[in-house]
Protein backbone atom coordinates (compact mmCIF):
# COMPACT_ATOMS: atom_id res chain seq x y z
CA UNK A 1 0.00 0.00 0.00
CA UNK A 2 1.20 3.50 -0.83
CA UNK A 3 2.48 5.13 2.42
CA UNK A 4 0.29 8.19 1.73
CA UNK A 5 -2.83 6.01 1.43
CA UNK A 6 -1.82 4.18 4.58
CA UNK A 7 -1.58 7.46 6.48
CA UNK A 8 -4.92 8.66 5.05
CA UNK A 9 -6.57 5.49 6.32
CA UNK A 10 -5.07 6.01 9.77
CA UNK A 11 -6.14 9.68 9.78
CA UNK A 12 -9.73 8.72 8.95
CA UNK A 13 -9.73 6.19 11.76
CA UNK A 14 -8.26 8.82 14.13
CA UNK A 15 -11.04 11.17 13.16
CA UNK A 16 -13.51 8.45 14.10
CA UNK A 17 -11.91 8.35 17.55
CA UNK A 18 -9.92 5.15 17.16
CA UNK A 19 -7.10 5.24 19.73
CA UNK A 20 -5.25 2.37 18.06
CA UNK A 21 -4.94 4.36 14.80
CA UNK A 22 -3.71 7.41 16.71
CA UNK A 23 -0.91 5.43 18.40
CA UNK A 24 0.07 3.78 15.13
CA UNK A 25 0.35 7.12 13.33
CA UNK A 26 2.52 8.56 16.11
CA UNK A 27 4.78 5.47 16.27
CA UNK A 28 5.24 5.55 12.50
CA UNK A 29 6.65 9.09 12.40
CA UNK A 30 8.09 9.71 15.85
CA UNK A 31 11.66 8.44 15.39
CA UNK A 32 12.51 10.00 11.99
CA UNK A 33 11.04 13.31 13.14
CA UNK A 34 12.94 13.14 16.44
CA UNK A 35 16.21 12.53 14.58
CA UNK A 36 15.66 15.57 12.37
CA UNK A 37 14.73 17.75 15.34
CA UNK A 38 17.70 16.50 17.33
CA UNK A 39 20.04 17.41 14.46
CA UNK A 40 18.43 20.86 14.27
CA UNK A 41 18.41 21.81 17.96
CA UNK A 42 21.23 19.63 19.26
CA UNK A 43 19.84 18.43 22.59
CA UNK A 44 17.31 15.87 23.76
CA UNK A 45 15.11 18.10 25.95
CA UNK A 46 14.33 20.62 23.21
CA UNK A 47 13.99 17.92 20.56
CA UNK A 48 11.51 15.99 22.76
CA UNK A 49 9.48 19.17 23.48
CA UNK A 50 9.37 20.11 19.82
CA UNK A 51 8.48 16.55 18.84
CA UNK A 52 5.52 16.51 21.23
CA UNK A 53 4.50 20.03 20.16
CA UNK A 54 4.52 19.07 16.50
CA UNK A 55 2.36 16.00 17.02
CA UNK A 56 -0.10 17.84 19.29
CA UNK A 57 -0.48 20.67 16.75
CA UNK A 58 -0.88 18.19 13.93
CA UNK A 59 -3.60 16.20 15.68
CA UNK A 60 -5.51 19.20 17.08
CA UNK A 61 -5.37 20.81 13.63
CA UNK A 62 -6.27 17.64 11.73
CA UNK A 63 -9.44 19.34 10.53
CA UNK A 64 -7.24 21.70 8.52
CA UNK A 65 -5.31 18.91 6.79
CA UNK A 66 -6.74 18.72 3.29
CA UNK A 67 -4.56 15.86 2.00
CA UNK A 68 -2.88 18.03 -0.69
CA UNK A 69 0.47 16.71 0.59
CA UNK A 70 1.44 13.66 2.61
CA UNK A 71 0.83 13.62 6.35
CA UNK A 72 4.61 13.31 6.83
CA UNK A 73 5.24 16.50 4.81
CA UNK A 74 2.55 18.35 6.76
CA UNK A 75 3.95 17.11 10.09
CA UNK A 76 7.51 18.11 9.15
CA UNK A 77 6.27 21.56 8.08
CA UNK A 78 4.67 22.06 11.49
CA UNK A 79 7.82 20.82 13.21
CA UNK A 80 10.11 23.15 11.25
CA UNK A 81 7.94 26.15 12.07
CA UNK A 82 8.26 25.23 15.73
CA UNK A 83 12.04 25.01 15.25
CA UNK A 84 12.04 28.53 13.75
CA UNK A 85 10.08 29.80 16.77
CA UNK A 86 12.51 27.95 19.03
CA UNK A 87 15.49 29.72 17.42
CA UNK A 88 13.74 33.05 17.67
CA UNK A 89 12.96 32.55 21.36
CA UNK A 90 16.37 31.59 22.52
CA UNK A 91 20.01 31.92 21.48
CA UNK A 92 21.24 29.25 19.13
CA UNK A 93 22.98 26.59 21.21
CA UNK A 94 22.42 23.97 18.60
CA UNK A 95 25.78 22.23 18.57
CA UNK A 96 26.64 22.46 22.28
CA UNK A 97 25.71 18.91 23.16
CA UNK A 98 27.01 17.33 19.96
CA UNK A 99 30.26 19.31 20.19
CA UNK A 100 30.73 18.11 23.77
CA UNK A 101 30.04 14.54 22.75
CA UNK A 102 32.63 14.69 19.98
CA UNK A 103 35.13 16.61 22.10
CA UNK A 104 34.71 14.06 24.88
CA UNK A 105 35.80 11.20 22.65
CA UNK A 106 39.27 9.94 23.25
CA UNK A 107 40.75 9.16 19.87
CA UNK A 108 43.30 6.39 20.13
CA UNK A 109 44.96 7.05 16.79
CA UNK A 110 46.05 10.05 14.75
CA UNK A 111 43.52 9.15 12.09
CA UNK A 112 40.74 9.14 14.66
CA UNK A 113 41.94 12.51 15.97
CA UNK A 114 41.80 14.00 12.50
CA UNK A 115 38.36 12.54 11.96
CA UNK A 116 37.22 13.99 15.25
CA UNK A 117 38.44 17.44 14.20
CA UNK A 118 36.70 17.11 10.86
CA UNK A 119 33.44 16.17 12.53
CA UNK A 120 33.71 19.19 14.83
CA UNK A 121 34.35 21.45 11.85
CA UNK A 122 31.46 19.87 9.97
CA UNK A 123 29.10 20.43 12.88
CA UNK A 124 30.12 24.05 13.21
CA UNK A 125 30.01 24.53 9.45
CA UNK A 126 26.43 23.28 9.41
CA UNK A 127 25.44 25.84 12.02
CA UNK A 128 27.03 28.62 9.99
CA UNK A 129 24.83 27.88 6.98
CA UNK A 130 21.75 30.04 6.32
CA UNK A 131 18.67 28.37 7.79
CA UNK A 132 17.06 27.19 4.54
CA UNK A 133 20.35 25.76 3.22
CA UNK A 134 20.97 23.91 6.47
CA UNK A 135 17.42 22.55 6.59
CA UNK A 136 17.66 21.40 2.97
CA UNK A 137 21.01 19.71 3.55
CA UNK A 138 19.80 17.94 6.71
CA UNK A 139 16.61 16.77 5.03
CA UNK A 140 18.42 15.57 1.89
CA UNK A 141 21.77 14.24 3.06
CA UNK A 142 20.87 13.07 6.56
CA UNK A 143 17.17 12.24 6.41
CA UNK A 144 17.04 11.07 2.78
CA UNK A 145 14.05 13.15 1.62
CA UNK A 146 13.58 13.74 -2.12
CA UNK A 147 13.78 17.31 -3.42
CA UNK A 148 10.07 17.34 -4.25
CA UNK A 149 9.16 16.58 -0.66
CA UNK A 150 11.73 19.05 0.69
CA UNK A 151 10.13 21.72 -1.52
CA UNK A 152 6.70 20.92 -0.06
CA UNK A 153 8.01 20.98 3.52
CA UNK A 154 9.88 24.25 3.10
CA UNK A 155 7.22 25.76 0.83
CA UNK A 156 9.61 26.54 -1.98
CA UNK A 157 10.00 25.28 -5.54
CA UNK A 158 11.94 22.04 -6.23
CA UNK A 159 14.44 24.19 -8.13
CA UNK A 160 14.99 26.38 -5.08
CA UNK A 161 15.41 23.27 -2.91
CA UNK A 162 18.08 21.93 -5.30
CA UNK A 163 19.84 25.29 -5.38
CA UNK A 164 19.83 25.53 -1.56
CA UNK A 165 21.27 22.02 -1.34
CA UNK A 166 24.06 22.66 -3.85
CA UNK A 167 25.02 25.99 -2.25
CA UNK A 168 25.14 24.31 1.18
CA UNK A 169 27.33 21.47 -0.08
CA UNK A 170 29.72 23.84 -1.86
CA UNK A 171 30.07 26.01 1.25
CA UNK A 172 30.83 23.00 3.45
CA UNK A 173 33.31 21.64 0.91
CA UNK A 174 35.15 24.97 0.89
CA UNK A 175 35.15 25.02 4.68
CA UNK A 176 36.42 21.48 5.02
CA UNK A 177 38.96 22.08 2.27
CA UNK A 178 40.28 25.21 3.98
CA UNK A 179 40.78 23.22 7.21
CA UNK A 180 43.34 20.97 5.66
CA UNK A 181 46.75 22.50 6.19
CA UNK A 182 49.45 21.44 3.73
CA UNK A 183 50.97 18.15 4.79
CA UNK A 184 48.07 17.27 7.11
CA UNK A 185 47.40 13.57 7.04
CA UNK A 186 44.08 12.33 5.72
CA UNK A 187 42.89 8.99 7.09
CA UNK A 188 43.55 6.26 4.60
CA UNK A 189 41.40 3.21 3.86
CA UNK A 190 43.83 0.95 5.76
CA UNK A 191 43.34 2.91 8.95
CA UNK A 192 39.61 2.23 8.78
CA UNK A 193 38.53 5.87 8.46
Partner 1 sequence: MAMECRDIKIKELLPEHAAGKLRGDALDRVERHLGSCADCRGEMDLLRMLAAEPVPEPGPAFWEGFPGKVYREVQKEKAVGKRRWYPFRLLDIVVFPGWAPVAALLSVVTIAAVLAWYGSRHFGETPRTETLSQNEYLFEEPEAPLHEYLSGLDEDGLREVDSWSERELVAVAGEIEDAGLNGSRGDYSGEISRMNEEELRRFSSMLEAWEKEVSNET
Binding site for partner 1 (CB under 8 A): 19, 22-23, 26-27, 30-31, 34-35, 38-39, 44, 48, 51-52, 55-57, 59-61, 63-64, 78, 81, 101, 118-119, 122-123, 137, 140-142, 144, 147, 162, 166, 169-170, 172-174, 176-177
Minimum CB separation of residue 134 from partner 1 in Å reads 11
Minimum CB separation of residue 79 from partner 1 in Å reads 12
* The three-state (H, E, C) secondary structure of 106-138, written as one string: CCCCHHHHHHHHHHHHHHHHHHHCCHHHHHHHH
Minimum CB separation of residue 65 from partner 1 in Å reads 9
Q: Which is nearer to partner 1, 101 or 185 (CB)?
A: 101
Amino acid sequence: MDPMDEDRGLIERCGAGEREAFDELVRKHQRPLYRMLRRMVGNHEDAADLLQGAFVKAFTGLGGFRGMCSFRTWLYRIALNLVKNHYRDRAREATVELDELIAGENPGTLAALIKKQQRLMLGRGLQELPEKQRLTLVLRAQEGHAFAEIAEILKCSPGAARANYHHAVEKLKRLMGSCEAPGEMRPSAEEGA
